[in-house]
Amino acid sequence: MNRTTTGMAGMGGRAALRLALMLGAPAGLAFGATAAHAEEPAPSTNAMVNLVRLLVAQGTIAKDKGDELIAEATREAEKARAEERAAIVAAATAAANAAPVRNAAAQPTPQYGQAAPALADGGLPPPPPGTIRVPYVPEVVREQIRDELREDVIKQAKAEGWASPQKAAPEWTQRFHPYADLRIRSQSNFFSKYNATDIPNFQGIVAGGALDLINSQIPLLNTTRDKYNIMKVRARFGTIYDVNDRIKVGIEIASGNDQNPLTTNANLGNGFFKRNLYLNKAYVQGRITDWWTLTGGRFDNPFLATDAMFDPDLEFDGVAGEVRLPRPLFGIGDVALRGGAFPLDLGGQNFPETATTKSTGAQKWLFSAQLEGDWHLPHGVLVRAAGAYHWFANVQGRPSAACALYAGVTQCSTDWSTPFFVQKGNSLSFIRRIALNPSATGTQAQPQLLGLTQPFRVLDAVVQVHVPISQHTEFALTGDYLLNTAFRKGDACRYGLAGEPVNNGGSGGSGNICDATIGSRTPYVAGNEGFQVIAALGYPKPYRWGEWKVFGGYKYLESDATLDAFVDDDFHLGGTNAKGFTLGAEFGLWPGVTWRARWLSANQVTGEPFAADVAQFDLNVAF
């Protein structure tokens, strides 16, 4: 048999060799030189047949489906063999007709020193009559072609979903993206022995409804007794489902003790009672265009912010949108404009409950807008700068009309303006104007409600700088500045003594912030500014063993810089009118398992002394 490495074109080149390998015919023996040397291929030399049989054996595809694929592969193989035979015979016949048949014995033998005679067929003497020349393919070439063919087959199988084990389930199941995390926390609270002992628990007062100031005891905060090892657990699990390439929905269930909007922690050690689960997220998000996204329902905070403005666990109700520039500004800046409308309290439909004539209170909303620019600088430095305006509409308390509770009235005209939730720090005033029974003698009950003294329209400016230190670590610095532009200190006494603030008073004076005698007034020490600086070094998000991060920061938040209902609930045990520092570290233990420790030390900015330190140790598991 004649062999040559230059005769690959005789079999259709590389395409013919790929086909030969797929059909299971050894390239070096395909249609041998004579019929006596031809070998019948074994039934299992067809790569496609073997692949299908393997998939059937592994249960990836059903046997009947596999039989159909084997039958189809066999038909295609027979057809390919027939076409290849015809092509080879045609090529051999054409070569034989193009050159005269010469007897090898009649050819002159070149003498020493003489050049061999030039041959017309590329340097090879013509084969004897009836001989078919078969190309020789080196083993390395055959292995390369075999590997490429295997990759092509696997790629096609995965694309069509018939040979990928993870796609054995229906196609729609591949659109789910589940996630979950679990956190176990040990927390201890420490108080200064110099703290005031008569600070009202305004969160409890607001949550409890009307409080009879004459005949009831005022709930007070614990400010002196340390609390050790308060065990808490947080569990969250959810999924995101891709409806199509433009629409997705998300649902998340989370633990919690109550309907507090700031935390999904559940306290442990309460008699082994079961804990509650709440619907924490439920939203639809649509990518209207490549640069415009809309989200509706209950979802994560859509704005760039720190916990001085919004607690990290806070979820938003309503509608939010984002518009991004289709291409970087000046080649380095990604610019986005965000906005949204979020209902805070839409009020009761049947207010007042016992009155025949109903009234409609002003609905409470949050309207927000933010412009953000992400600037990608040389050496991997990223600078993010954002300016936001948050307008909390109709959250300010309003004085009621004369309310004759003694006559059987159960609700006053502006009860709707009491806060939906507070922590502590914001200025509060009484809102009910209770009319006393002129014919009654003795002390009469005066159940009061509290309302926010100040309105809130907050300007929030955030800057973040990320500087790479190594391949995986970075130095990050964050600055945040808040200003309540609606705050007016002089408006605290606009309703007179009956509507004066009940907190945020200084020392001196008569004890009344709105005393009729101006010179006798106690100073109103509330403020409307706040800022925070945070520095972090290490892995941005530690995830596995050896990954680490250390961080620290300082926060200063005056009483009415922003709505205290939504700020961090850990620092100073929640709320505004707080200043102090935070230190912490995070370390990876196993993939998805991290340990974090934090120390939060805070004091009041103004008013009665209240210092609180918080130590937290968290075990976080994400999966």
DSSP symbols for 416-468? GGS-S---S-S-EEE--EEPP-TT--S----EE-EEESS-EEEEEEEEEEEEE
Q: How far apart are CA 551 and CA 194, in angstroms?
A: 29
Residue 117: is its pLDDT beyond 80?
no
Mean pLDDT of 32-42: 40
**pLDDT at 5 > cutoff 50:** no
- CATH 2.40.160.10 given to domain 174-487+526-622: yes
- Both structure tokens of 406: 């003694």
- The per-residue pLDDT for 257 is 83
Average pLDDT over residues 602-609: 96
CA 576, CA 527: separation in Å to the nearest integer? Answer: 10
Residue type, 514: C
DSSP per residue, 180-209: EEEEEEEEEEEE-TTS-S--B-HHHHHHH-
> pLDDT category, 505, cuts 50, 70, 90?
very high
- Region 501-527 average pLDDT: 93
Confidence band, pLDDT 50/70/90 cuts, at residue 331: confident
More confident residue, 423 or 126: 423
Tokens 């919690």 identify what position? 256
Whether 537 contacts 551, CB under 8 Å = yes
Number of CB atoms found within 10 A of residue 204's CB? 14
**Preceding amide of 312 cis, omega within 30:** no
Sign of CA dihedral 63, 68, 69, 71: positive
| pLDDT, tens digit, 9 for 90 and up, residues 436-466 | 999 888 888 899 999 999 999 999 999 999 9
Q: Model confidence at 89, in pLDDT bands (50, 70, 90)?
A: low
pLDDT band at 107 (very low <50, low <70, confident <90, very high): very low
- Name the band, by pLDDT with cuts 50, 70 and 90, for residue 483: very high
**Residue 585 pLDDT > 50, yes or no?**
yes
Provide the β-strand partners of residue 247. 286
The CB density around residue 167, as the number of other CB atoms within 10 Å, is: 16
* Mean pLDDT value across residues 316-328: 95
pLDDT of residue 31: 35
Inter-helix orientation angle 139-160/13-23, to 10°: 70
pLDDT computed for residue 548 by the predictor: 98
pLDDT at 42 over 80: no
Q: How far is CA 357 from CA 124, 380, 543, 599, in A?
A: 111, 65, 60, 54
Question: Residue range 396-424: average pLDDT?
Answer: 92
Contact by Cβ (8 Å): 250, 239: yes
Residue 172's pLDDT is 86
Q: In the chain, where are the structural domains located?
A: 8-168, 174-487+526-622
Question: Residue 245, class by beta-carbon neighbours within 10 Å (0-12 exposed, 13-18 middle, 19+ buried)?
Answer: exposed
Model pLDDT, residue 78? 78
* Dist CA 215 CA 619 (whole Å): 46
Residue 165 has pLDDT above 60, yes or no: no
SS3 17: helix
Residue 83 has pLDDT above 90, yes or no: no
Residue 595's pLDDT is: 98
* Mean pLDDT across the chain: 85
* Residue-level pLDDT at 67: 81
CB 336 within 8 A of CB 314: no
Q: What percent of the chain has pLDDT over 70?
A: 81
> So what's the pLDDT on residue 304?
97
pLDDT at 11 over 70: no
Q: Are 524 and 503 in contact (CB under 8 A)?
A: no
Tell me the C-alpha distance between 445 and 468, whole Å.
Answer: 64
